[in-house]
Structure formats: C-alpha cells, structure tokens
Amino acid sequence: YLDKATIEMFKTIGRFAKDHKIPYKIVLLDSIDSDFNKIMTDHIDDVVDISTPFNTEYTFIPNDIHPNVKANKVFFERLVPILKEITP
C-alpha cells in the first residue's frame, strides 16, 4: 500500500506543478530499494533514476550508507542535463 500511496502523492504533486507551470522532476539518488525505483519509473512520467550502485565504491559502507565523493560527482554529472531541461 505504501508504494501505491507514494505514487499517488507524487502524481498529485506533478499535476499541481504542471497546472502552475512549476518545473518539476523527481530524481532517485540511490538504489537501496530497486523495486521502489522501478515502480516509480514505471508509473510516474517525471521520474529520473540517476542512482549509483549501493556498494562500497559509491558509499561510505561499512561505516555509513551515505553517498561518497565519487557518487556525488556522478549525481552532479547526471543532474546538470536534467536541470538544463527544466529551467529556462
């Protein structure tokens, strides 16, 4: 049920953004739950998956699950074209 509620929430936000001409994208940054990412990309048009693998190459595992410098560089490289697409 959580995924269905999440999808409906993001669809509502997307409709609001479109109705008010607000640039809008949902950007998925991690692949901890690849099933969730697939559901989001399959059901919502405004979703872009720029996630990096959830492993020691892109995180601080085993000490911390957050993205490391390498992952943040990848995010930057993948976000720039998206930002250029949605901003004037």
Predicted local confidence at residue 1, as pLDDT: 55
Rounded to the nearest 10 degrees, how much is the dihedral formed by the CA atoms of 26, 28, 33, 38?
60
For residue range 63-79, what is the model confidence (pLDDT) as tens digits? 998 999 999 999 999 99
For residue range 16-63, what is the model confidence (pLDDT) as tens digits? 999 999 999 999 998 888 888 999 999 999 999 999 988 899 999 989
